[in-house]
Each structure stands twice: as structure tokens, then as C-alpha cells.
Chains A and B, each alone.
Chain A
Amino acid sequence: MSTIHPDQAEALGLVGNRRHDGPDHDTIDGSMTIDPATRPPLVLGDRDFKSVTDTICGWIEDKTPSWWIPAFAVSNLLAITGTLMIVYLIITGVGVWGLNNPVSWGWAIVNFVWWVGIGHAGTLISAILCLFKQDWRTSINRFAEAMTIFAVVCAGMFPGIHVGRVWMAWMLFPIPNYNWIWPNFRSPLLWDVFAVGTYFTVSLLFWYMGMVPDIATLRDRATKRRNEKVRFGPMWAPHPLPDFVKKATTITLPANMIASYVYGVLAMGWRFSSRHWWNYEKAYLLLAGLATPLVLSVHSVVSFDFAVSILPGWHTTIFPPYFVAGAVFSGFAMVLTLLIPARMLYPGLKDFVTAKTIENMCKIITVTGSIVGFAYIMEFFIAWYGGNPYEQDAFVRRAFGPYWWAYFAMFFCNVVSPQVFWFKWCRTYIPFIFAITIVVNIGMWFERFVIVSTLSADFLPSSWAYYSPTLVDILTFVGSLGVFMTLFLLFLRFLPMLAISEVKNVLPQANPHHPMYDTDNATHHGEGH
């Protein structure tokens, strides 16, 4: 018995759950609809399930895009440079960095906090926005989660090499040793080990679990391709070929063989059973519930590194939420920095990552940037209000001292620049958004630099010293960018960059009670309003 396929035919005009009772403002470009009664469509281009699968899998299955190999080569080169710097550091000592006596924490800790912060947007998008049922996140969550994991990898590098004697790094963990010495659980640096370790593990598991069904899709497609044997042989061969020749010249392409095997192993045998989905969705929700406080805790613990101390400028009770807001802020900026070029380079991505999604992210950047600005002002006010001359001095020195340029850059990039997104034009003009996200990334790096450089004027004026980085510092940081980009490019090439099943889930056709399936009550369509 043949059944019609209503997806493609009827999806036209039914994109998005909107009520047809008002003037329809043009939502065709996916920009934020003005009419409050409607929700703009989440996926454009009147896509059916099949075209979603084909587009997203196509990015992986098609030939390597021409820009990919040069980009990968450059990223690799940077990563190798960074690695060489680390080798140089390890065989020489931390003196190759610009550290001096009061500034015993330099770029390494700045980079660590910056990278960890960037990671936060991934968890925010996948967990918190999931709990708040923000369906527009489905098109960016995979992307952002991947970014989280690679950012945490880069972050984890820095404390590792910062300890100087990296071969002693195992002492960070509570492992019994010959002296029966245990790590100091009262030290914030040890909390970092647990917080970042947990964060990395949970993010990785969350990412992987989300990817299992999509990998299964890739597996099934690879299996189909593997089953299609390819003929090869000389053009001049006789036309019908004798059987034994035919057998010898039809093969399975090795790439399909490998893909089917690797995706097969990774897919865990997922077979899209509803009974499985039921447990899966529950687990996903629970993980979102766990990841939400986790993401708050990780940057709070990072802020404890500074805030539990009694150093002026570091000991501020607002640090935990302020660090978290800053982390989300920088993470969203980084997601956009990666998404905007990807939207250009991958045809079809614009249908999923709509202008509306970008606009929403711009708004979140403005909100979190303003929260960060709020914290800067509160810090300053309480530094004065507290009446502690050292505290006041630390803040005055930040804004007007030798590092005034860093403070200015921080304040301008983080508080002033995102305010442009109050204007519709600014959050819809893509090149401008891209520029602002770069500015925000720089600003958040400077925020951590401002905090760390407070060390340069400690309690003993005779030891005050200006901190400047060495070439090794700079190249190590650039190297971490290379590592990040290398991993990210690999992700784009070999793994589904959009959550296929989640995107399908927000298509209007996915709702079994959607009026388009109401064949019995077809007349109801018109009389509803």
C-alpha cells in the first residue's frame, strides 16, 4: 500500500507555529519577527526531514572543501609552534616566560581563565537554554559544545605547564605516594583540578551522548554506501564482463568501509527506538540539570582562585557570579566568531542558524556584557565604600596606573561595545556582529589580564615591577589558538556540526498533532479564527 509523503507538500506555508490572525511581517529572512503573536520559523527553506539529514551529513560526506586544507595547515603550524614553546619551557624552566617576583602568575593564568570562560557558552547553550526551552538553540548547541570541549583542552594545558615541573603534575590528584602526603583540599587550586576535570568530563559525555543518534545516522548512510559496490577497471574492458572479472573489479570503497566501521563503533548500536529515546530524553534533561549548576560552579571555583585571597582587587564577594557572566559573555562571542564564517563557508547552514538565532545571541551578549559592567561598577563602588586604602589603591591603579590601557580596553570592549546591539541594525548586519565578537574576545582576555596584573604592585613597594610578556608567552598563547582551531576543523570535517535529530524535532512536521496531519478535520483550518 502506498502512502503519500505529506512532508514536502504540506510543509509549505506551515513553517513555524504561528497563528494566522495578524499581519504577517516578513519573516522570510528569519530575522526577529515584530508581531508578538507569532514565532519566527526556526528552520528556513521549507525543509523536510530528508533534506535536513542530507544537508548536515553532506557537509561531512562531500569532498573536503577547498578552504579546509589550507586552514588546517595554518592551524597545525600554530599548534606546532605552541608545542615547541612548551617543550622549550619544560627543558628550560618557567623563567622563559615574563614572570617576575610580584607577578608570579602571568599569561598562563590569564589564558587559562580566558579559555575556560569561552568554554562556558557551550554548556550554557546546551543545558540552560535547554531547560528554558529555547528551541533556537538546537541549531547551535553541537557547535557550541564542541567549542567548549576544545576550549577546555586549551585551558587545561596552561596550569599543567605552569607548575614548572610537569612530571610532578600527578601530585595534583589524591594518589597515594611514598610519603603518604595528600593534596591540600583547602586550596582553591586543587578545587580547580576537580572543577575543570569534572567540567571537561561531563561536557564530553554530554556532547557525545547528544551525538550518538547523529553518528548512527552517519553510520547508516555509510553502510548504504558500503553496500553499493563500485565498479572499477579499464575503459576498454569488454562489455558484458565475464563473471569472474566482474567480481574482481567491483569493490567497496575503503573510505566507506572505514566510515561505516568507525561511525558504527561510535554509534553504540543506536537504532532510533522510541523506548530508547524515552530514556535518552530523560537522561538528556538530567544532564542539562546537572550541567547547569556545574557551569556556574566551574567559573565560581576559578574565581575563588582569586577571591579567597586577601589581595586588594582580588578579594571581592561578587566575583563568582561576575566571573560566570563574563564567561558566558566571552563564550557567546566566540561561538559567533566561529559561526559567522561557518555560515559563509557551508551552504545551507544559514537555513538552520538563522538571522534570528544570531540576533538572539547578540542580545545575550549585551545582557551578559552589561552584567559584567554592573560588576565592574560595583567593585569600584565597594572598593571606595569599604574604606580600605589598599583596596582603593589597587582599583585606582588599575584604571589610572601603568596598566590603564588594559583597563580601558577591558571596559571599552566588554561594557561599551556590546551596547551597540540595542540597535536592530547592529544585530542584523553580520560583518558588524563579527567585528564586535572579536572585540569582545579581546576585551575578556584583557579583563583577566587586568585582574592578574594587579599583582605587579603588591604590599611591598620595593618589589613592584612592571610585567611584560616574552615572545615565548605570546607564541604559547598563539599555539593554543592553533590547537583549538585544529581540533575544531577536525570536528567540522568528521562529525555532525548540527544536532540532526534535535533540528528535526523543532520542525513543524515533527509534531504528530500538527494541523497539517488533520486530514479528517481539514475544514477546521479556516474557521479557527
Chain B
Amino acid sequence: MAVKHSHTTSQGVPMHAILAEFSNPATVTRAAEHFRDAGYTKWDVFSPMPIHGIEHTMGLKPSKVSYFCAIGAIAGFTIAVAMQGWMSAIDYQTVTAGKPLFAWEQFTPIIFELSVLLAAISTIAGMFILNGLPRHHHPLLTSERFLGASDDKFIIAIEATDPKFDAQGLKSTLESLGGYGIEEIEED
């Protein structure tokens, strides 16, 4: 990756981000409002569970997962109609129970099941793709403090690639917003 590391940590290593810990969802929400209004783009809030309303606080756009779901459903529907139609009515014609070769009624159960199957798979796949997962190594995961987000801590991290990034200014801002345990995270 051709990322220009204009910021370095105090050890002189390229910096990935600055993070601060917050103790509860209310303070982290107030801090997030600040960063949204200040126009930051490469920042994130980490919390042990989804915080209600954080999407508005962070100014997130509606999730695109629905499109994946819709595409999967349409694909499943099409495949099911084509497969059953071709196999039963064209390629291997056998009359059973005196029913027409192409009877939509009999194909409905499988049409439904395949639509749901592919929709579900593509929804989950879409969720992971949109989130850039699986990604087992991430600079943030090297910080023991950051791991608190999986327990009871609320963390804000601002990435060094953000155009508004200014390490010193950010540290004091984070502190004034109630953050503590501010850390610089090295790029790896």
C-alpha cells in the first residue's frame, strides 16, 4: 500500500491512529458528536455492543447490506425457476400425478427456499465484505487497552490518514471530551 506516513509516534514509528478510552456510552456519544461536527472522516467508535443512535451521531449512511440481500434473493429465484423448469419440463420430461410439466405450484417451495438461501448467504457475505472482514491482523488489536472494547470500554480512534489529523491537538481534544488512557497506535 502506498500510504504516506506523515505522522509518527514518539518512538518514531509510523502512526496508525490515536485512541482514547471512554467509560460509558453517553460520554462517547458526546465525543462522537464533536468529531462528526469537526468534519473528521477516518475515525471510529468501538463499543462492546451497538450504541443506539450512534449512526446519527457519527453521520453514517444507510447500510448497503440490503442490496446484497436483494441480489441474492433475485439470483436464488432465477436459478430455482430456471433449474426446475429446465430439468423437469425440458430436459427430463416425466409426467407425475397427471400434473403439467411446468407447474409453478410445484416449483414454489424450492423457488422460495433457494431465494431465501442465497439471500441469507449473500447478506452475511455482504456484511463481512462491507466491513472489510475477515482481517485477523489489525494495528488496533495490538493495543491491550483497545481490547477493552470487547468488555466494557468505549473507544474512539482517529486514524493518522485523516486529513484533519493533528496528534497534539487531538490528544487535548480527546481529554477535554472526557477521554482517558490516550494511546498512539503504531502502523504495522
Task: Tell me if chains A and B make direct contact, with any CB pair below 8 A.
Answer: yes
Q: Which residues of A contact B (CB under 8 A)?
A: 1-7, 48-50, 53, 174, 180-188, 190-191, 194-195, 197-198, 201-202, 205-206, 209, 213, 216-217, 219-221, 223-224, 227, 264-265, 268-283, 286-287, 290-291, 293-294, 297, 301, 304, 500-502, 504-505, 509-514, 517
The chain A residue with its CB closest to the CB of B69 is: A286
Q: Is the CB of B144 within 8 A of A224?
A: yes
Q: Is the CB of B150 within 8 A of A3?
A: no
Q: Is the CB of A182 within 8 A of B88?
A: yes
Q: Is the CB of A49 within 8 A of B178?
A: no
Chain B residues within an 8 Å CB radius of A5: 23-24
Q: For chain B residues 115-146, which have a beta carbon within 8 Å of chain A?
A: 116-117, 119-121, 123-124, 126-128, 130-131, 133-138, 140-141, 144, 146
Q: Which of A6, A221, A274, A293 contacts B23 (CB 8 A)?
A: A6
Chain A residues within an 8 Å CB radius of B183: none
Chain A residues within an 8 Å CB radius of B120: 201-202, 205-206, 287, 290-291, 294
User: Cα distance A183–B180 when bound, in Å?
Assistant: 64
User: Cα distance A174–B119 when bound, in Å?
Assistant: 20
Q: Which of B46, B106, B124, B137 contacts A287 (CB 8 A)?
A: B124
Since A3-B178, A290-B123, A504-B48 are in contact, a sample of 14 more A-B pairs with Cβ atoms closer than 8 Å, ordered by chain A residue number, is A182-B88, A182-B91, A182-B92, A184-B96, A201-B120, A268-B136, A275-B131, A283-B126, A291-B120, A297-B109, A301-B109, A502-B49, A504-B49, A517-B25
Q: Is the CB of B92 within 8 A of A194?
A: no
Given contacts A180-B92, A186-B99, A271-B138, contact A1 B51 (CB under 8 A): no
Q: Is the CB of B150 within 8 A of A220?
A: yes
Report if B161 contacts A (CB, 8 A): no
Top 8 A-B pairs, shortest CB-CB distance:
A517-B26, A49-B152, A283-B127, A282-B63, A268-B134, A182-B87, A277-B50, A512-B25
Q: Which of A180, A202, A281 contacts B116 (CB 8 A)?
A: A202
CB distance from B35 to the nearest CB of A (A): 12
Q: For chain B residues 40-93, which have a beta carbon within 8 Å of chain A?
A: 44-55, 58, 60, 63-66, 69, 83-84, 87-88, 91-92
Chain A residues within an 8 Å CB radius of B114: 194, 198
User: Cα distance A8–B106 when bound, in Å?
Assistant: 59
- Which of B28, B50, B130 is packed against the most chain A CB atoms within 10 Å? B50
Q: Is the interface of A mostly helix, strand, loop or mixed?
A: helix
Q: Is the CB of B69 within 8 A of A271?
A: no
Q: Is the CB of B113 within 8 A of A194?
A: yes
Chain A residues within an 8 Å CB radius of B123: 283, 286-287, 290
- Which of A187, A194, A275, A293 is packed against the most chain B CB atoms within 10 Å? A275
User: Cα distance A509–B24 when bound, in Å?
Assistant: 8
User: Cα distance A134–B47 when bound, in Å?
Assistant: 23
Q: Is the CB of A185 within 8 A of B106?
A: yes
User: Cα distance A198–B119 when bound, in Å?
Assistant: 11
Query: A-B contact count, CB below 8 Å?
Result: 239
The chain B residue with its CB closest to the CB of A273 is: B44
Q: Is the CB of B50 within 8 A of A281?
A: yes
User: Cα distance A417–B138 when bound, in Å?
Assistant: 55
Q: Which of A182, A220, A268, A274 contacts B50 (CB 8 A)?
A: A274
CB distance from B85 to the nearest CB of A (A): 9
Q: List, sorted by A's number, 29 A–B pairs whose CB atoms are closer than 8 Å.
A: A1-B178, A5-B23, A182-B92, A184-B88, A185-B87, A188-B109, A198-B113, A201-B120, A201-B121, A220-B151, A223-B147, A227-B144, A269-B134, A271-B46, A272-B150, A273-B44, A273-B45, A274-B45, A274-B55, A274-B60, A276-B133, A277-B49, A278-B55, A282-B63, A286-B123, A293-B112, A501-B50, A512-B25, A512-B53
Q: Is the CB of B141 within 8 A of A187?
A: no
Chain B residues within an 8 Å CB radius of A185: 84, 87-88, 106-107, 110
Q: Is the CB of B140 within 8 A of A283?
A: no
Q: Which residues of B contact A (CB under 8 A)?
A: 22-29, 44-55, 58, 60, 63-66, 69, 83-84, 87-88, 91-92, 94, 96-97, 99, 103, 106-107, 109-110, 112-114, 116-117, 119-121, 123-124, 126-128, 130-131, 133-138, 140-141, 144, 146-147, 149-152, 175, 178-180
Chain B residues within an 8 Å CB radius of A187: 96
User: Cα distance A514–B53 when bound, in Å?
Assistant: 12
Chain B residues within an 8 Å CB radius of A205: 120-121, 124
CB distance from B40 to the nearest CB of A (A): 13
Q: Is the CB of A217 within 8 A of B52?
A: no
Q: Is the CB of A268 within 8 A of B133?
A: yes
CB distance from A332 to the nearest CB of B (A): 23
CB distance from A25 to the nearest CB of B (A): 28
Given contacts A185-B88, A275-B60, A282-B65, contact A265 B48 (CB under 8 A): no
Chain B residues within an 8 Å CB radius of A186: 88, 96-97, 99, 103, 106
User: Cα distance A324–B130 when bound, in Å?
Assistant: 35
User: Cα distance A508–B179 when bound, in Å?
Assistant: 22
Q: Is the CB of A517 within 8 A of B24?
A: yes
Chain B residues within an 8 Å CB radius of A294: 113, 116, 120
Chain A residues within an 8 Å CB radius of B83: 174
Q: Is the CB of B180 within 8 A of A1?
A: yes
Chain A residues within an 8 Å CB radius of B130: 279
Q: Which of A4, A180, A191 contacts B91 (CB 8 A)?
A: A180
User: Cα distance A354–B48 when bound, in Å?
Assistant: 23
CB distance from A305 to the nearest CB of B (A): 11
Q: Is the CB of B26 within 8 A of A272?
A: no
CB distance from A518 to the nearest CB of B (A): 8
Q: Is the CB of A279 within 8 A of B127?
A: yes
The chain B residue with its CB closest to the CB of A183 is: B87
User: Cα distance A213–B52 when bound, in Å?
Assistant: 17
CB distance from B184 to the nearest CB of A (A): 17
CB distance from A8 to the nearest CB of B (A): 10
CB distance from B58 to the nearest CB of A (A): 6
Q: Is the CB of A53 within 8 A of B99?
A: no
User: Cα distance A44–B80 when bound, in Å?
Assistant: 48
Chain B residues within an 8 Å CB radius of A202: 116-117, 120
User: Cα distance A360–B147 when bound, in Å?
Assistant: 36
Q: Is the CB of B152 within 8 A of A3?
A: no
- Which of B51, B60, B103, B150 is packed against the most chain A CB atoms within 10 Å? B150
The chain A residue with its CB closest to the CB of B61 is: A278
Chain A residues within an 8 Å CB radius of B151: 49-50, 53, 217, 220-221
The chain B residue with its CB closest to the CB of A10 is: B24
Chain B residues within an 8 Å CB radius of A265: 136
